Structure 1
Amino acid sequence: MRSEDLIHRLAINLRPVRPASHPALATAVWLTIVAAVIGLAVLVSGPRHDLAERLTDGFDLPQIVTASVTGVLAAFAAFELALPERSRRWALLPLPAAVAWLATMGWGCLQDLARLGPDGLRIGVSVSCMVFIAGLSVPLTVAMLWLARHAARLRAGPVAALGGLSAAAFASVGLSFIHHLDGAAMVLAWHGLSMLVVTLLAALLGPRLMRRARPLG
């Protein structure tokens, strides 16, 4: 077979490959999806009765801001890490914000301790809180995995874990608009536990979902 014929046969079955979106553009698309999902959740469940007061007095504002920054940076890091030429150090990008997020909740615990004494650190049962964060994280994580599915054969695990962290952070923000907890200790326990669970599940199950979605991209 002549080289020209071989090249012709190989070229017939070639399909154009769409390049991956720039991480900034992919993050913007992701944030649009986040805003739509959280907005729908607030519309369906209704905002908490004291939302305006809590935002005005600044009590919940540090937690909401740090969680939002964590979500944005984790998403951007995931899309950066999904590109083969990017450094693995991008995975460290959201860590300072995540630590600050946990620190704001920890500071709230100290404030409650100073104001209420040992009762301020009482942790009650709030399964609905964790269920809400986990439930809201599912569509967000699936959307993230779909947008980053081109990383299925590269760094699926780290990308999925960062996507889960971003989804959990924004789900926590959404919960702050809808549901209230009695104390900072409960916020730290249930928001922190939910974040850990969602991130771990995304890291474990995400690569399989990304590999299934990859042929469709």
Structure 2
Amino acid sequence: MTRTSDLIDVLVTDATPVRRLRLPATRAACWLLFAIAVMLFVGIAHGVRADLALKLHQPVFVIGMVAAMATAILAALGAFIASVPGWSRRWLLLPVPASLVWVVTIGYGCLTNWVTIGPEGISMGETARCFATLALVGTPLSLLTLVMLRHVVRLSPGPVMVVGSLAVAAMTAVALSILHPLDATAMILLWNFGVTTLYILLGGRYGQRLLGWVAPR
């Protein structure tokens, strides 16, 4: 029977160096820089909404944009912190205050402007462009989040993936608000609440499988 000391010596001899993860704040900053780069690329290719300058003078729109951006940043930071072994999962609650403000501004806009779509409604062309923006912004951010959180695959990743998905949804909502004139109508529920719910459900339901697919063996 192998003695404990001999076993330790064998394990130490055969051990390979492990690359330490970067600090959660550093990883969150890298994620945010990538998100901004994607939004700039899509914004240059698509162009911002024609009434953006006017909307930036409306407090509800500005507060909603800031709250959505804060939700994305805090959710990303909370997910990266909570993915570190030994750190408290309470960090996942970090985006809750900002997300509540975001939801309130959306609800207020819908209640006060829920019939402002106009006589011609929203054309299929604009809807198609919104879906394209959603895919161009949300898809790379989702894949990056998946890769950056792959190390949490064996540590009950469900809650972490849910918050990471919330970060992606909030950042996508920011892009949609800047590029498309669909806020303060029923469409805001589809794009903001719908996108958020979709990412959260997919992250919570398939997060472990997806993380297992990209995690190193």
Normalised by the size of structure 1, how large is the TM-score? 0.84
Residues 1:44 and 2:45 aligned together: yes
C-alpha displacement of 1:169: 0.4
For the residue of structure 1 that corresponds to 2:22, the secondary structure is coil
C-alpha displacement of 1:181: 1.4
Counterpart of 2:29 in structure 1: which amino acid?
Answer: A
RMSD of aligned alpha carbons: 2.7
C-alpha displacement of 1:131: 5.8
> What does the per-residue CA deviation read over 1:5-27, in whole Å, with 9 as the maximum and x for residues that have no partner?
76564344322112222211111
CA distance in 1, matches of 2:206, 2:136: 16
Distance 1:8 1:92, change over 3 A: closer
1:187 matched to which residue of 2?
188
C-alpha displacement of 1:198: 1.5
For the residue of structure 1 that corresponds to 2:160, the secondary structure is helix
2:104 matched to which residue of 1?
103
CA distance in 2, matches of 1:141, 1:87: 24
C-alpha displacement of 1:172: 0.7
C-alpha displacement of 1:177: 1.7
Please tell me whether the aligned partners of residues 20 and 150 of structure 1 are also in contact (alpha carbons under 8 angstroms). Answer: no
CA distance in 1, matches of 2:51, 2:201: 33
1:89 matched to which residue of 2?
90
C-alpha displacement of 1:139: 1.1
For the residue of structure 2 that corresponds to 1:56, the secondary structure is coil
C-alpha displacement of 1:170: 0.3
1:154 matched to which residue of 2?
155
2:26 matched to which residue of 1?
25
Aligned residues: 211
**Equivalent residue runs for 1:42-191 within 5 Å:** 42-58=43-59, 60-112=61-113, 119-120=115-116, 128=128, 129=130, 132-181=133-182, 183-191=184-192
Normalised by the size of structure 2, how large is the TM-score? 0.84
CA distance in 2, matches of 1:19, 1:97: 31
